[in-house]
Amino acid sequence: MSFWHMQLHPSNQKAFPPKKVKEILEKTSCIGVGDWDKGERIIDDFEKTLKKGDIVAVKSGKTPIALVEIISDCERTDNVNNDLDWFKYRRKIKVLDFYKPEYKFNIPDSRGTLKICRNSNAETTKIIKKWYEKIKSKIYMKELLELLKANKNLILTGAPGTGKTYLAKEIAKEMIGAKTDEDLLNSDQFGFVQFHPSYDYTDFVEGLRPTKPDENCNIGFELKDGIFKKFCQKAKDKTDKNFVFIIDEINRGEISKIFGELFFSIDPDYRGEKGSVKTQYSNLHEEINEMFYVPENVFIIGTMNDIDRSVESFDFAMRRRFVWREITAKESQQMFGNESWKEEAIKRMNNLNDKIEKIEGLNSSYHIGAAYFKNNLTKYNNDNDKWNKLWDLHLKPLLSEYLRGMSDQQEKLQSLVESYNLK
């Protein structure tokens, strides 16, 4: 990914006013250059050097208008006019953010139609990168929200410590409109469960549960709804609201045993009454023909660590009912925010993870996520020995477990600590 800045202007070389630039971006979702830009390698750069995924700060003079991402190859057309469709050479873009007055920055270098930010120390480069960093977490969250809304069921997978459970809760907050963690936990639109090997259908959907002893100390059994069925019943009564159910460590339970016939009902294509099923205990319901379905306003998020159990062992019938999104260790570094130790943490973390990948038998699934750094460095922030404590008390025990049974275990552990301490 490279960073660029550019002006949008017609053939007279005079930049469009800010209002016009914003109008072009909103109505055409394009940026472009014309034949009048020949002679300065601008067209060549626009066609060949600019790539999909590159980030461009579009401006009018020194005034930033929008930060956009390139999403198409260059297209050439002779169908131009004098309204919005000025440019013979075009690329489709996705607007990541429109400039807001509270940002209070200009882009100093206003020369040239299109320029790549080659000098990492230049003020222009620093401002554009700062802008991108400012909105990156919003872009990230928007992507995850769109995945969940489009597919109903989402699994966040990745290495330990990449903040999957935290992200799941953040997505839930956005979906239901909760402002704080407390609002989320107190909302009837939010549900949470952590799977484990003993968890089963009777906990999740419904089952027979013992009653309290009566006056003669006799114990009976009665049919009780499980946590997910109760949650769905609440969602049926509030169809205008989103309901989010998180299943933490989803791969640690026996999926087919827990979900039973709900494999069918949670399918995004069979949500609502068309996906109604009879449960395993339907013969005990008061209404003989009672059916159960998962409402369309229920969204499910699962989290799992790849190395807890092979991804391939996850039930295939369930796999195709979820969209999967890996949360990488580098992506998890967003949780560092503006901490004073951020740059050093990123360097040590990247060095360590690069070394982990090079050890035979390990791969990116064994990376160390940012949560290991953030949670513990926050505790030791005022300690001059914080990096050594992080290694000795938190990282070394985990990595020793990774290396258990390997030949030359101590030598490999030594190579990891050397990478961690590499300056």
The pLDDT value recorded for residue 112 is 73
pTM strictly above 0.75:
yes
Q: Is the pLDDT of residue 312 over 70?
A: no
Q: How many Å apart are CA 221 and CA 357, to the nearest integer?
A: 53
pLDDT digits (tens, 9 = 90+) for 197-222: 899 999 999 888 877 887 777 887 88
C-beta separation of 292 from 229 below 8 A = yes
**Predicted pLDDT of residue 311:** 44
Please, are residues 163 and 335 in contact by the beta-carbon 8 Å criterion? yes
**Per the domain annotation, does 143 fall within a domain?**
no
**Residue 312 belongs to domain spanning:** 152-327
Averaged pLDDT, 347-353: 95
Examine the domain organization and report whether 391 and 344 are in the same domain.
yes
pLDDT band at 413 (very low <50, low <70, confident <90, very high): very high
CB 305 within 8 A of CB 159: yes
Residue 252: C-alpha distances to residues 259, 297, 301, 321 (Å): 13, 26, 15, 18
Residues 396 and 304 in one domain: no
Do both 197 and 281 map to the same domain?
A: yes
Are 52 and 124 found together in one domain? Answer: yes
Q: How many domains does the chain have?
A: 3
Q: Is residue 196 part of a domain?
A: yes
How many angstroms separate the CA atoms of 178 and 298, rounded?
Answer: 16
115 and 15 part of one domain = yes
Last residue of a domain, one of 269, 292, 327: 327
Query: Is the domain of 62 the same as that of 157?
Result: no
Tell me, what's the pLDDT at 120?
A: 83
Check whether 361 has a pLDDT greater than 60: yes
User: Which of 8-12, 57-61, 81-85, 157-161 is predicted with the least confidence, judged by mean pLDDT?
Assistant: 81-85
User: Residue 241's Cα: distance from chain center in Å?
Assistant: 22
CB atoms within 10 A of CB 82: 8
Amino acid at residue number 286? E
Each residue's pLDDT tens digit, 133-156: 888 888 888 899 999 999 999 999
How many C-beta atoms surround the C-beta of residue 118 within 10 A? 9
Query: Is 224:207 a contact under the CB 8 Å cutoff?
Result: yes
Please answer whether residues 322 and 153 qualify as being in contact, where contact means their C-beta atoms are separated by less than 8 angstroms: yes
- Are 313 and 346 in the same domain? no
Final residue of a structural domain among 280, 296, 327: 327
Measured distance CA(370)–CA(377) in Å, rounded: 10
